[in-house]
């Protein structure tokens, strides 16, 4: 699941994974099949963050393996990237029943896990995908609340425990599946994203 040259990073991530697998802090622990920690390289310059696992993710334990994941893969491939070149995860590690939106209390319970993962990876760019993920990072880093339609493809600088990082909001791939006119904007934003990691 995790690819990294640094054994210490892998061990630290495995410790967090063990904590989440035994976590019973919220009601999602009672209905999950598997926790979904994320996947990719722990040396990633880019971390893509969605909201929560869906049914296929809950079954497999891997992020973005449904139709939105296939679109994400094709968008990455078009920019010369593969899943192994980035890290993909979600704010919430367990699937909300019927794919409902996570409750604020559930986000709060999972908050520490997401931030610990980011501290291990130390990315240069964090790309929240969709409004829920964007809101999470806006609140955590004291940014003005804005919706994804207004700020996608823009760069916001945030101060993290590992240094200054670019926050680069993206439409969620699922949005482009249901609203095909967004696909072109998502494709353009993905190209910008790759460029940011090279700066």
Give per-residue pLDDT as tens, 88-147.
999 999 999 998 999 989 999 898 899 999 999 999 999 999 999 999 999 999 999 999
Q: pLDDT for 178-189, tens place per residue?
A: 888 888 999 999
- The pLDDT confidence band at residue 194, using thresholds 50, 70 and 90, is confident
* d(C-alpha 16, C-alpha 1), whole Å: 14
pLDDT at 170: 96
Is the model's pLDDT at 196 over the cut of 80? yes
**52-74 average pLDDT score:** 94
Query: How far is residue 96's CA from residue 113's CA, in Å, rounded to a whole number?
Result: 17
Which domain CATH number covers 144? 3.40.470.10
pTM for the predicted model, two decimal places: 0.94
Residue 6 has pLDDT above 90, yes or no: no
Mean pLDDT value of segment 165-178: 93
> What is the full DSSP assignment across the chain?
-EE-S-HHHHHHHHHHHHHHHT--SSGGGGT-SS----EEETT-SEEEEES---HHHHHHS-SS-SHHHHHHHHHHHHTT--GGGSEEEES-SSPPGGGPPPPHHHHHHHHHHHHHHHHHH--SEEEEBSHHHHHHHHHHTTPPP--HHHHTT--EEEEETTEEEEE--B--HHHHHHSGGGHHHHHHHHHHHHHHHH-
Mean pLDDT, all residues of the chain: 93
Residue 198 — pLDDT band, cuts 50, 70, 90? low
> Where in the sequence is the domain holding 175, given as residue range(s)?
2-198
> What is the percentage of the chain residues whose pLDDT exceeds 70?
98
Which pLDDT belongs to residue 70? 92
Total domain count, the chain: 1
């Amino acid at each position: 699941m995790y690819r990294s040259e640094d054994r210490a990073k892998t061990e630290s991530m495995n410790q967090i994974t063990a904590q989440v697998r035994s976590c019973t802090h919220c009601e999602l622990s009672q209905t999950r099949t598997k926790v979904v920690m994320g996947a990719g390289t722990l040396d990633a310059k880019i971390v893509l963050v969605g909201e929560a696992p869906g049914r296929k993710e809950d079954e497999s334990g891997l992020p973005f393996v449904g139709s939105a994941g296939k679109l994400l893969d094709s968008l990455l491939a078009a920019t010369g990237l593969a899943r192994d070149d980035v890290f993909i995860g979600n704010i919430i590690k367990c699937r909300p029943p019927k794919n409902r939106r996570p409750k604020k209390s559930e986000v709060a319970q999972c908050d520490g896990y997401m931030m610990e993962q980011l501290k291990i990876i130390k990315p240069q760019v964090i790309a929240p995908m969709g409004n829920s993920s964007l809101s999470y990072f806006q609140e955590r880093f004291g940014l003005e609340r804005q919706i994804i339609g207004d700020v996608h493809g823009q760069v916001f600088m945030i101060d993290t425990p590992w240094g200054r990082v670019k926050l680069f909001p993206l439409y969620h791939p699922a949005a482009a599946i249901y609203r095909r006119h967004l696909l072109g904007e998502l494709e353009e934003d993905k190209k910008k994203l790759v460029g940011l990691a090279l700066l």
